[in-house]
Amino acid sequence: MGKAAFDVRATLPDGEDVGRLQWEAPRLIYRGAERRVFDAAALQDVRVEGGDLVLARGERFALGAAQAAKWAQAIANPPGRLEKLGVKAGMRVAILDLDDAGFASELGTRAAPVNDLRDLDILVYGADSDQALARIGELVPALADRGALWVVSLKGKLLKVKDVEVMAAAKAFGLVDNKVCSFSETRTALRFTRRRG
Protein backbone atom coordinates (compact mmCIF):
# COMPACT_ATOMS: atom_id res chain seq x y z
CA MET A 1 0.00 0.00 0.00
CA GLY A 2 3.00 2.30 0.51
CA LYS A 3 2.24 5.64 2.05
CA ALA A 4 -1.49 6.42 2.19
CA ALA A 5 -3.57 9.12 3.87
CA PHE A 6 -7.31 9.71 4.34
CA ASP A 7 -9.54 12.19 6.14
CA VAL A 8 -11.42 10.15 8.75
CA ARG A 9 -13.77 10.27 11.70
CA ALA A 10 -11.95 8.90 14.73
CA THR A 11 -13.13 7.47 18.03
CA LEU A 12 -10.36 7.96 20.58
CA PRO A 13 -10.11 7.36 24.35
CA ASP A 14 -10.84 11.06 24.96
CA GLY A 15 -13.74 11.33 22.49
CA GLU A 16 -14.70 11.77 18.83
CA ASP A 17 -12.50 13.70 16.41
CA VAL A 18 -12.05 14.33 12.70
CA GLY A 19 -8.59 14.40 11.17
CA ARG A 20 -6.14 12.91 8.71
CA LEU A 21 -4.92 9.34 9.10
CA GLN A 22 -1.67 8.40 7.42
CA TRP A 23 0.08 5.03 7.10
CA GLU A 24 3.84 5.44 6.83
CA ALA A 25 5.21 2.00 7.63
CA PRO A 26 5.85 1.11 10.35
CA ARG A 27 3.78 3.93 11.92
CA LEU A 28 0.19 5.08 11.78
CA ILE A 29 -0.05 8.86 12.21
CA TYR A 30 -3.27 10.68 13.08
CA ARG A 31 -3.50 14.47 12.81
CA GLY A 32 -6.67 15.79 14.39
CA ALA A 33 -7.11 18.09 17.38
CA GLU A 34 -3.70 16.73 18.33
CA ARG A 35 -1.10 14.62 16.56
CA ARG A 36 -0.92 10.96 17.61
CA VAL A 37 1.54 8.30 16.47
CA PHE A 38 0.78 4.60 16.76
CA ASP A 39 3.43 1.93 16.29
CA ALA A 40 4.66 -1.39 17.69
CA ALA A 41 2.26 -2.63 20.41
CA ALA A 42 -0.50 -0.19 19.38
CA LEU A 43 -0.64 -1.86 15.95
CA GLN A 44 -0.63 -5.46 17.13
CA ASP A 45 -3.89 -7.30 16.54
CA VAL A 46 -5.28 -4.51 14.37
CA ARG A 47 -8.73 -5.51 13.11
CA VAL A 48 -11.70 -4.35 11.04
CA GLU A 49 -15.15 -3.87 12.59
CA GLY A 50 -18.09 -2.43 10.67
CA GLY A 51 -15.91 -0.42 8.28
CA ASP A 52 -13.64 0.87 11.05
CA LEU A 53 -9.95 0.15 11.48
CA VAL A 54 -9.61 -0.75 15.17
CA LEU A 55 -6.29 -0.65 17.02
CA ALA A 56 -5.17 -2.74 20.00
CA ARG A 57 -6.30 -0.19 22.61
CA GLY A 58 -9.66 0.44 20.95
CA GLU A 59 -8.96 3.55 18.83
CA ARG A 60 -11.28 3.46 15.80
CA PHE A 61 -10.88 5.13 12.40
CA ALA A 62 -13.83 5.13 9.97
CA LEU A 63 -12.26 4.19 6.62
CA GLY A 64 -15.09 2.10 5.14
CA ALA A 65 -15.00 -1.68 4.86
CA ALA A 66 -12.76 -1.97 1.76
CA GLN A 67 -10.17 0.60 2.85
CA ALA A 68 -10.14 -0.61 6.46
CA ALA A 69 -9.41 -4.16 5.26
CA LYS A 70 -6.65 -2.91 2.98
CA TRP A 71 -5.06 -0.87 5.78
CA ALA A 72 -5.31 -3.75 8.28
CA GLN A 73 -3.55 -6.04 5.78
CA ALA A 74 -0.78 -3.48 5.16
CA ILE A 75 -0.28 -2.86 8.89
CA ALA A 76 -0.16 -6.59 9.67
CA ASN A 77 2.32 -7.18 6.81
CA PRO A 78 4.41 -3.99 6.47
CA PRO A 79 6.51 -3.71 3.33
CA GLY A 80 10.27 -4.07 3.58
CA ARG A 81 12.62 -1.30 2.47
CA LEU A 82 13.20 -2.81 -0.99
CA GLU A 83 9.44 -3.04 -1.58
CA LYS A 84 9.00 0.58 -0.51
CA LEU A 85 11.70 1.64 -2.97
CA GLY A 86 10.19 -0.47 -5.77
CA VAL A 87 13.29 -2.63 -6.28
CA LYS A 88 12.61 -5.74 -8.36
CA ALA A 89 14.93 -8.54 -9.47
CA GLY A 90 16.77 -7.74 -12.69
CA MET A 91 16.64 -3.95 -12.24
CA ARG A 92 19.70 -1.77 -12.75
CA VAL A 93 20.16 -0.06 -9.39
CA ALA A 94 23.03 2.12 -8.17
CA ILE A 95 23.88 3.65 -4.81
CA LEU A 96 25.72 6.97 -4.75
CA ASP A 97 27.07 8.93 -1.76
CA LEU A 98 25.12 6.89 0.77
CA ASP A 99 27.16 5.29 3.52
CA ASP A 100 24.89 2.39 4.50
CA ALA A 101 26.57 -1.01 4.20
CA GLY A 102 23.42 -2.71 5.48
CA PHE A 103 21.39 -1.27 2.62
CA ALA A 104 23.98 -2.29 0.01
CA SER A 105 23.93 -5.83 1.38
CA GLU A 106 20.12 -5.90 1.48
CA LEU A 107 19.94 -4.60 -2.08
CA GLY A 108 22.34 -7.32 -3.23
CA THR A 109 19.77 -9.97 -2.26
CA ARG A 110 17.44 -8.71 -4.98
CA ALA A 111 19.42 -6.65 -7.52
CA ALA A 112 23.20 -6.41 -7.29
CA PRO A 113 24.18 -2.71 -7.22
CA VAL A 114 25.89 -1.50 -10.39
CA ASN A 115 28.74 1.01 -10.66
CA ASP A 116 27.96 2.05 -14.24
CA LEU A 117 25.72 5.13 -13.91
CA ARG A 118 23.83 4.63 -17.18
CA ASP A 119 20.29 3.50 -17.97
CA LEU A 120 19.40 3.05 -14.29
CA ASP A 121 15.99 1.89 -13.17
CA ILE A 122 16.71 3.29 -9.69
CA LEU A 123 19.44 5.55 -8.36
CA VAL A 124 19.62 5.85 -4.57
CA TYR A 125 21.45 9.08 -3.79
CA GLY A 126 22.49 10.35 -0.37
CA ALA A 127 22.13 14.14 -0.18
CA ASP A 128 22.55 16.15 3.03
CA SER A 129 23.92 19.47 1.80
CA ASP A 130 23.23 22.22 -0.72
CA GLN A 131 26.24 20.98 -2.73
CA ALA A 132 24.77 17.47 -2.90
CA LEU A 133 21.41 18.84 -4.02
CA ALA A 134 23.15 20.88 -6.73
CA ARG A 135 24.49 17.59 -8.21
CA ILE A 136 21.00 16.29 -9.00
CA GLY A 137 21.17 17.81 -12.48
CA GLU A 138 24.27 15.70 -13.25
CA LEU A 139 22.44 12.54 -12.18
CA VAL A 140 19.29 12.87 -14.30
CA PRO A 141 21.00 11.59 -17.51
CA ALA A 142 21.97 8.39 -15.61
CA LEU A 143 18.30 7.41 -15.34
CA ALA A 144 16.51 5.18 -17.83
CA ASP A 145 13.52 6.82 -19.51
CA ARG A 146 11.21 5.68 -16.70
CA GLY A 147 13.93 5.51 -14.06
CA ALA A 148 13.58 6.90 -10.54
CA LEU A 149 15.93 8.94 -8.40
CA TRP A 150 15.54 8.34 -4.66
CA VAL A 151 17.10 11.17 -2.66
CA VAL A 152 17.91 9.93 0.84
CA SER A 153 18.43 12.52 3.59
CA LEU A 154 18.77 12.67 7.34
CA LYS A 155 15.57 13.37 9.26
CA GLY A 156 14.48 14.51 12.70
CA LYS A 157 17.14 16.06 14.92
CA LEU A 158 19.86 15.04 12.43
CA LEU A 159 18.17 16.88 9.52
CA LYS A 160 20.52 18.98 7.37
CA VAL A 161 18.30 19.67 4.34
CA LYS A 162 14.51 20.01 4.44
CA ASP A 163 12.16 18.03 2.18
CA VAL A 164 11.04 21.27 0.51
CA GLU A 165 14.68 22.04 -0.37
CA VAL A 166 15.16 18.57 -1.86
CA MET A 167 11.93 18.95 -3.89
CA ALA A 168 12.89 22.42 -5.14
CA ALA A 169 16.34 21.19 -6.21
CA ALA A 170 14.91 18.21 -8.12
CA LYS A 171 12.14 20.26 -9.75
CA ALA A 172 14.76 22.71 -11.02
CA PHE A 173 16.09 19.82 -13.14
CA GLY A 174 12.71 18.75 -14.54
CA LEU A 175 11.91 16.07 -11.98
CA VAL A 176 8.65 15.57 -10.09
CA ASP A 177 8.27 14.04 -6.65
CA ASN A 178 5.81 11.17 -6.43
CA LYS A 179 6.58 9.14 -3.32
CA VAL A 180 8.12 9.40 0.12
CA CYS A 181 9.12 6.65 2.52
CA SER A 182 11.00 6.10 5.71
CA PHE A 183 14.39 4.74 4.66
CA SER A 184 15.68 4.00 8.15
CA GLU A 185 15.41 5.23 11.72
CA THR A 186 17.53 8.28 10.79
CA ARG A 187 16.81 8.81 7.09
CA THR A 188 13.89 9.56 4.81
CA ALA A 189 13.69 9.04 1.04
CA LEU A 190 11.92 11.06 -1.67
CA ARG A 191 11.36 9.58 -5.15
CA PHE A 192 11.62 11.68 -8.28
CA THR A 193 10.96 10.84 -11.92
CA ARG A 194 11.05 12.82 -15.13
CA ARG A 195 8.05 15.02 -15.83
CA ARG A 196 5.74 13.41 -18.41
CA GLY A 197 4.13 15.37 -21.26
Per-residue model confidence (pLDDT) at position 28: 92
> Residue 112 class from Cβ within 10 Å (0-12 exposed, 13-18 middle, 19+ buried)?
exposed
115 & 160 share domain: yes
69 & 160 share domain: no
16 & 93 share domain: no
107 & 137 share domain: yes
Half-sphere exposure of residue 154, counting CA atoms within 13 Å on the CB side? 11
Residue type for position 115? N
56 & 90 share domain: no
Per-residue model confidence (pLDDT) at position 182: 87
Q: Any idea what the CATH number is for the domain that residue 34 is in?
A: 2.30.29
94 & 187 share domain: yes
Examine residue 26 and say whether the peptide bond preceding it is cis (omega within 30 degrees of 0): yes
Per-residue model confidence (pLDDT) at position 24: 79
Per-residue model confidence (pLDDT) at position 2: 53
> By residue range, what is the domain housing residue 129?
81-194
Average pLDDT by stretches of 10, the chain with 197 residues: 79 95 87 93 93 95 95 88 94 96 94 96 98 97 97 95 96 94 92 88
Q: Any idea what the CATH number is for the domain that residue 131 is in?
A: 3.40.50.150
180 & 124 share domain: yes
Per-residue model confidence (pLDDT) at position 23: 87
Which of 37, 57, 76 is the last residue in one of the domains? Answer: 76
Whether this prediction's pTM lies above 0.95 is answered by no
167 & 110 share domain: yes
**For residue 127, which of 104, 97, 171, 156 has the smallest C-alpha distance?**
97
Count of domains forming the chain: 2
